[in-house]
Amino acid sequence: MTGGASGIGLALGRAFATSGMKVILADIETDALAAAVGSLRDLAPDVRGVACDVADPASVERAAAAAFEAFGRIHVVCNNAGVGGGSGIDDISLENWRWVLDVNLMGVLHGIRSFLPHIRAHGEGGHIVNTASMAGMVSGLGFSPYGASKFAVVTMSEGLAMQLKPLGIGVTVLCPGFVRTRISESARNRPARYGAARRPDPASQAGQLAARLAELGRAGLDPRDVAAQVLHAIREDELYVFTHPDMRAELEERFAAILSAMDRAAAR
């Protein structure tokens, strides 16, 4: 469970522990990770923590090895760690794009690459959960590394599901809307190799969008509700989890535009 020290990751860990699963939480934020592990120990004794930077493939490999050593067999993996930031056309920062893509996209890839062999090896089946976003379905954030990363996670998950189904391994892609997490404070965990985070001008379009997103997040869905939906999706082998059905109209608008373009192509 990457990004397991807070937000959706911690809620998933709590839901899994409550259901009787052995749980290992992974997170880059070590103090918060220790507190998260301690908070779950009353629910289940088999809860561990491991420091992990999902942008670093070697770090994810070490987390996979720690999970395998602790529990022997791995059945469910949640590639959940994510960061936000770097939207807009006024200040296109390569460092922001690299950071967001390295965590949100490559972090998922690293998790699949490191954990999937363990799941395949025991032959008992399993499940992989990849956290995307409604930003991976609609483009309301504009020109955004966050949106680009989440669109990629959706298509990765769809393709992965096709290839793993014959092996008895399920895949779920989680596409939440606004949830009460600390993703608006992602810069607290930004490694120095990506340079200092640059706050957008509050008066700029990017600054106003960031403030609005933070406000919506504070009023968002309880992460425990998201975790309950994910647990149900794992049990029922459902590919998609949409936590905010009220966003259906935005999806329909996008799909209608795509189908209209296809109709025009056919007419030509």
List the catalytic residues.
Answer: 146
Please compute, for residue 56, the number of CA atoms within 13 A of its CA located in the half-sphere on the CB side: 14
Q: How many residues does the chain have?
A: 268
Q: Which of 181, 246, 248 is nearest to 219 (CA)?
A: 181
Report how far residue 176's alpha carbon sits from residue 255's, in angstroms, rounded to the nearest whole number.
19
Beta strand 240-242 with 169-175: parallel, antiparallel or unpaired? parallel
In the numeric block, which tokens belong to residue 74?
């791995």
For 197, what's the count of Cα atoms within 13 Å in the CB-facing half-sphere? 17
Where does residue 179 rank: exposed (0-12), middle (13-18), buried (19+ CB within 10 A)? Answer: buried
3-class DSSP assignment, residue 183: helix
CB 214, CB 183: distance < 8 Å: no
Q: Are 138 and 207 in contact (CB under 8 A)?
A: no
Distance, CA of 133 to CA of 151 (rounded, Å): 8
Evaluate whether 9 touches 25 at the Cβ level (below 8 Å).
Answer: yes
